[in-house]
Amino acid sequence: MDSHISTTAAMPRSASAQACMDLEDRWGAHNYHPLPVVLCKGEGVWLWDVEGKKYLDMMSAYSAVSHGHSNPRIVSALIEQVNKLAMCSRAYHNDVMPRFLEKVCKMTGMDRMLPMNTGAEAVETALKAVRRWGYQVKGIPANKAEIIVTSHNFHGRTIGIISFSSETSYQEGFGPFLQGFKAVPFGDVKAIEQAITPNTCAVITEPIQGEAGIIVPPPGWLKQVAEVCQKNNVMLVVDEVQSGLGRTGKILACEHENVSPDAVILGKALGGGVFPVSGLAGKRHLMDVFTPGSHGSTFGGNPLGAAIAIKALELLEEDHMCERSQEMGAYLKKQLHSIGSKAVREIRGLGLWIGLDIDPNFISARHVCERLAKLGVLSKETHETVVRLAPPLVITKEEIDWGIHRLRQVLTEI
């Protein structure tokens, strides 16, 4: 098996890894703690560092590279568009964004989309949308709107978003925070129902919690939440930034329970792994609260990003990437179970989005990731106990086997 896929590559050593890391440490803010790997090239499911070592990517940049690194058809769409018109701002119309909006809405079952750039911006857009809906449509008294969220959520790191985070490390030193949020346990529909008041405008949740450790709620939970929201005239907004666009084996993870929420938040994979593209797609009754000047973004909906997103969505359908995620995800999970390591407490996830819950009495998730990197497999820990496995959706069984062989080495040497 190892003879088919080499971990070495003849690449110029333009800079040493240590020199790059030292330069970043000197001039960059210390807001990340990355693994000591300096990458310089990507192709498909593979990455190379500046020393020429080849790695299997089992992270996909938190689902942003679902189509594989430097997907040639996406790169071609980028080049074609950048040679025509890359940027013009929303002060004018452009001829690409309308097709992008139509494609997103038709694929997600939504009526309108407001394009942004990053996932956090799209979440902030959702917060504004549901609050305005609460005041203008539901009739909530001014400045009294409440939004129900789920504990241990991760929606980004802006001041607005960390205001409803239950992770103290995200909040420390950044207060005061926004008011109007109620956190209830993830997966508990009764808690949501009990938290609703006449001033509740929305429930915002991830369908599966990614940063929390690939936490899958009980079967039927999201469908029950949708029913509770509809009964109480409350908007349901599902954050599909990481879980959406094929990652769990469906276009949207909420499709696993046949839920069509009032709005979905999209990002990451929408940019095809080459450009930041995000947005809020929703039903007309929610999205029509936006009027000229009520929200905006200089780069949101730019022709370059729109062209890239159109191609990314087309490939999602043409290459049957949802079906691939289901098939390869089931295969990956089966191979993971075959390892049988005493250090693994649980294997959970959907499609090609799997979390290995590591028993810290044996080894930390960070150490697992560090050892994997030395063997040519890149992943990243979350909350010190979970190793995330989320490769590009184009991964093959042979490539999965290659990674499993090295993961077995790490987990059975403990």
Same domain assignment for residues 355 and 261: no
Residue 160 within any structural domain of the chain: yes
Same domain assignment for residues 133 and 235: yes
Distance between CA atoms of residues 355 and 357, nearest Å: 6
Task: For residue range 216-226, list pLDDT tens digits in order.
Answer: 999 999 999 99
Is 401 tagged catalytic? Answer: no
pLDDT at 4: 45
Range of the domain at 110: 72-318
Same domain assignment for residues 120 and 266: yes
Residue 1 within any structural domain of the chain: no
Contacts of 94 (CB under 8 A, 6+ apart): 85, 88, 301, 302, 303, 306
**Of 270, 303, 318, which closes a domain?**
318
**Of 262, 286, 318, which closes a domain?**
318
**Extended beta strands in 52-157, E state:** 54-57, 112-116, 146-150
Mean pLDDT score across all residues of the chain:
95
Is 154 tagged catalytic? Answer: yes
Number of domains, the chain:
2
Task: For residue range 316-340, list pLDDT tens digits in order.
Answer: 999 999 999 999 999 999 999 999 9
Is 164 tagged catalytic? Answer: no
Residue 11 within any structural domain of the chain: no
* Given 53, 103, 250, 268, the catalytic residue: 268
Distance between CA atoms of residues 402 and 414, nearest Å: 20
* Given 154, 164, 275, 290, the catalytic residue: 154
Same domain assignment for residues 336 and 283: no
Distance between CA atoms of residues 366 and 344, nearest Å: 14
* Given 57, 239, 262, 357, the catalytic residue: 239
Same domain assignment for residues 77 and 198: yes
Task: For residue range 341-397, list pLDDT tens digits in order.
Answer: 999 999 999 999 999 999 999 999 999 999 999 999 999 999 889 999 999 999 999
Residue 9 within any structural domain of the chain: no
> pLDDT band for position 145 (50/70/90)?
very high
Same domain assignment for residues 289 and 405: no
Residue 364 within any structural domain of the chain: yes
Task: For residue range 253-284, list pLDDT tens digits in order.
Answer: 999 999 999 999 999 999 999 999 999 999 99
